[in-house]
Structure 1
């Protein structure tokens, strides 16, 4: 394992846009825009309410915010020497985007990108608050501040074993309830319950991404749950997140809190089971676990889209 220290001149390619696409980690952004789309689908299906302009603002805001969060996480982890280890055993789904360790962008350039993204996010949230009311400011403040202090000192709760819970709450209830409020100017029990499905899937996604980084995280002091309790515990936490997500999905239908159509989300179960099998067999091998990293992304996408489709079907058919 080698260590690469940033030099004064980044090793740029011919495409100036490519490093930025890599930096924002597009593959991890659906956990932002799918929950807000789900919330809008719930509001429309249940109450025939849909404000397309407000939805577009929320969609853009959370997506750009996630871009900024990913870049901020990269900068702070790099400065704390979390992501400076690189080599042939790099798992592309863990350890940051790699634009800093590969010399594609400098820390200052990435900081500039963070500032632009957060500036756009704040502007959109103020606009939405003017349109929909002050609670939008509160919800936005929770999301923005928690994303900043995910890795920023002195809080940096991702380093203290609270990052997983923070992501569960923010990428579940905060996003869904915030988007739902923008549509209806009120909150509801149903979107809160359903929001826990993407929330727990996000929990599992972050946990499985921490497992290959166990050694590096411990050395750098990033004491997330996996670094604290070990990779085997991470496997258990991953499975627990999946169990909670699919249990809540099915349970919400059984108790009548959500329409039967969202059971389409169970189509992701075979892929989820496959990811558990791979992780159990290869959790000590950062390369052989890659198919499990890919699988949880598929699980999230299938489940998220299925939930949205389920509500749209309910809105059209009443089923």
Structure 2
């Protein structure tokens, strides 16, 4: 049971997302004149632990249902393969998931104590999404929505409000954009797993619509995020240099065009998945940089 195996199991590269979401929320709080370093890192820790909970529980349940025995595995879909290779026992992974969940709950309760009960609903919702994503939401056409809320909307709002600030319209707008991006992150990565997900009891948008219609939805949602950034920045609602986020449009075009290629055939769709992840992470990182840089214009 090596350190490397556990790093693969918790899917360390995926943990960049909650870190970047924390940075976006923190940057916006700084723009509004408030920043609590302790609360910033405590909330980031909660997000990281809940994300690990989702990743490990998903691996555990997809092993138990047999889904991950039938996927064509890549770094973006199909599970880690750790349990199928026997590198860890299922109960080890389950206990690790529950341990991370409990620690997240304890730290989250302390953050609520420091900030106020206004954060409690966010924490409870986030924990529900983390704990029941695989077993409930992903099986009832709610996987993408729960991911968008739990790993997009709620983290941005929470990462902003932990600094003692009331909810603002610019925070809501950025949280919606983040939610759409995370929704799309899951959506595109579901394409290659359709044949394994159906007998495994999953019901999602790709299964319901088919890959071609789902690709159209993915493309529409992708470009809607850039529309949100452009319109609300020009309206003066978002900090002016949030327009830096538009720099990733070429990556978005690549991801959108490759989403129409055949999953599990050749390398094209995989390159689209790669472009999708790059676009999602870099766009939000650029937005955070733009928010902080906008302070120089005040």
Report the TM-score, using the length of structure 1 for normalisation: 0.89
Q: Is contact 1:167-1:203 (8 Å) kept?
A: yes
Q: CA RMSD in A?
A: 1.5
Q: Is contact 1:95-1:213 (8 Å) kept?
A: yes
- Unpaired runs of 5+ in structure 2? none
Q: Distance in 2 between matches of 1:23 and 1:241?
A: 30
Q: Distance in 2 between matches of 1:32 and 1:304?
A: 11
Offset from partner CA, 1:148-168 (integer Å, 9 cap, x none): 11123xxx1111111111111
Question: Counterpart in 2 of 1:30?
Answer: 16
Question: Counterpart in 2 of 1:103?
Answer: 86
Question: Counterpart in 2 of 1:93?
Answer: 76
Q: Tell me by how many angstroms 1:302 deviates.
A: 1.2
Q: Is contact 1:212-1:285 (8 Å) kept?
A: no
Q: Is contact 2:263-2:269 (8 Å) kept?
A: yes
Offset from partner CA, 1:272-309 (integer Å, 9 cap, x none): 11112222233462743111111111101210110100
Q: Distance in 2 between matches of 1:309 and 1:63?
A: 21
- Unpaired runs of 5+ in structure 1? 1-11
Alignment counterpart, residue 124 of structure 1, candidates 99, 103, 107: 107
Structure 1 runs of 4+ aligned residues shifted over 6 Å read: none
Shift in CA distance, 241/286, structure 1 to aligned 2, threshold 3 Å: farther
Worse overlay, 265-274 or 26-35: 26-35
Alignment counterpart, residue 79 of structure 1, candidates 30, 48, 64: 64
Question: Counterpart in 1 of 2:120?
Answer: 137
Shift in CA distance, 234/283, structure 1 to aligned 2, threshold 3 Å: farther
Aligned pairs, number: 298
Q: Tell me by how many angstroms 1:233 deviates.
A: 2.0
Alignment counterpart, residue 44 of structure 2, candidates 18, 35, 59: 59
Q: Distance in 2 between matches of 1:284 and 1:26?
A: 24
Question: Counterpart in 2 of 1:219?
Answer: 199
Alignment counterpart, residue 181 of structure 1, candidates 161, 170, 186: 161
Q: Distance in 1 between matches of 2:151 and 2:86?
A: 30
SS of residue matched to 1:227: helix
Worse overlay, 219-228 or 27-36: 27-36
Shift in CA distance, 85/283, structure 1 to aligned 2, threshold 3 Å: closer
Report the TM-score, using the length of structure 2 for normalisation: 0.95
Q: Is contact 2:34-2:165 (8 Å) kept?
A: no
Q: Is contact 2:229-2:242 (8 Å) kept?
A: yes
Q: Does 1:273 align with 2:273?
A: no
Q: Tell me by how many angstroms 1:204 deviates.
A: 1.3
